[in-house]
Amino acid sequence: MSQHDPLIAHMEEIGERLIADNDERQYFHGAYLRSTRSVMEDAAAGRFVDSAWAEQWGLAFAELYMNAFSAWERGDPTPGPWQVAFDVSKDPSVPPVRHALLGINAHINYDLPQALLAVITEEEFSDDDVMALRAADHAHVDSILVQRVPEEDKRIMQLEDPGDRNFVDTLMSPFNRAGTRRFLKEGRDKVWSNTRLLNEARRRGPDVYAEELAVLEALSQERVADLVTPRYVIMRLARHGFGVVLPPRASE
């Protein structure tokens, strides 16, 4: 029995509830659950450079999402980007593809650097050979997600009403092969940069790390809020691209 089995089972139960309740969170949740299964299958089959590490990373990544999900349902403080994405789930006028996009942005921009930090030690960040292995496994996850694009796009389109996906939603959507490759490549580069800056903050102590994480949370929240409505979103994407970038900290 894999250590991921209880998490996957819990996510499956939640997914069934979201569908039964016609809850808009089902669109991201379902896509993420299926992607998580695929990653874990590749880890079990030894398709990563370091499959044991990839499994730990996948678990840390999923737990960050599930913690935010549970906090929001309890009415507890929820990380800013997830607060925005989950609050929008109350609005059925927002098309499914955008609900999925909001969740993807919150999870990659805010959760992914934290998940990487949870499974890469300070010492490993200074080891170029180890970091090359981690980067290779990170890239392999991207290849899994690209392969899943046709099925996920088909699922979303089956749930959409006519006219749901306007030009802006089509442009923003990661659910096409070209868009997914662009989104993942840009997101991966920015996530690695942000993770390294978070690691430097971690080296300086918990207070500095908390400050840096708060900056990442604010930037991620702003980006998710940008995508809630399509007005001017094309100009914002053209100027800033996908993802967020932590500014370098001044030397102390």
The answer to whether residue 251 sits within a structural domain is no
pLDDT confidence tier of residue 69, bands split at 50, 70 and 90? very high
The answer to whether residue 172 sits within a structural domain is yes
Packing angle between helix 26-44 and helix 51-74, nearest 10 degrees?
160
d(CA 142, CA 153): 16
pLDDT confidence tier of residue 145, bands split at 50, 70 and 90? confident
Task: Residue 120: count other Cβ atoms within 10 Å of its Cβ.
Answer: 19
Checking if the pLDDT of 144 tops 90, the result is no
Q: What is the pLDDT averaged over residues 197-206?
A: 97
The answer to whether residue 248 sits within a structural domain is no
pLDDT at 179: 58
User: For the segment 88-136, what is each residue's pLDDT rounded down to a tens digit?
Assistant: 999 988 888 888 889 988 999 999 999 999 999 999 999 999 999 999 9
User: For the segment 149-197, what is each residue's pLDDT rounded down to a tens digit?
Assistant: 777 777 777 776 666 666 555 555 555 555 566 666 777 789 999 999 9
The answer to whether residue 223 sits within a structural domain is yes
The answer to whether residue 252 sits within a structural domain is no
User: In total, how many domains does the chain have?
Assistant: 1
Query: What's the CA dihedral at 213, 216, 222, 223 to 10 degrees?
Result: -140
pLDDT at 101: 84
pLDDT at 143: 83
The answer to whether residue 35 sits within a structural domain is yes
User: For the segment 225-242, what is each residue's pLDDT rounded down to a tens digit?
Assistant: 988 876 555 555 556 666
Q: What is the pLDDT averaged over residues 31-45?
A: 92
Cβ neighbours for 81, distance < 8 A, ≥ 6 positions apart: 105, 106, 109, 110, 217, 220, 221, 223, 224
Domain that holds residue 41: 5-158+165-240
End-to-end alpha carbon distance in the chain: 47
Q: For the chain, give the mean pLDDT.
A: 86
pTM for the structure as a whole: 0.87
The answer to whether residue 245 sits within a structural domain is no
Checking if the pLDDT of 249 tops 90, the result is no
pLDDT at 235: 54
Checking if the pLDDT of 75 tops 70, the result is yes
Task: Residue 96: count other Cβ atoms within 10 Å of its Cβ.
Answer: 22
pLDDT at 125: 95
The answer to whether residue 106 sits within a structural domain is yes
d(CA 198, CA 74): 29
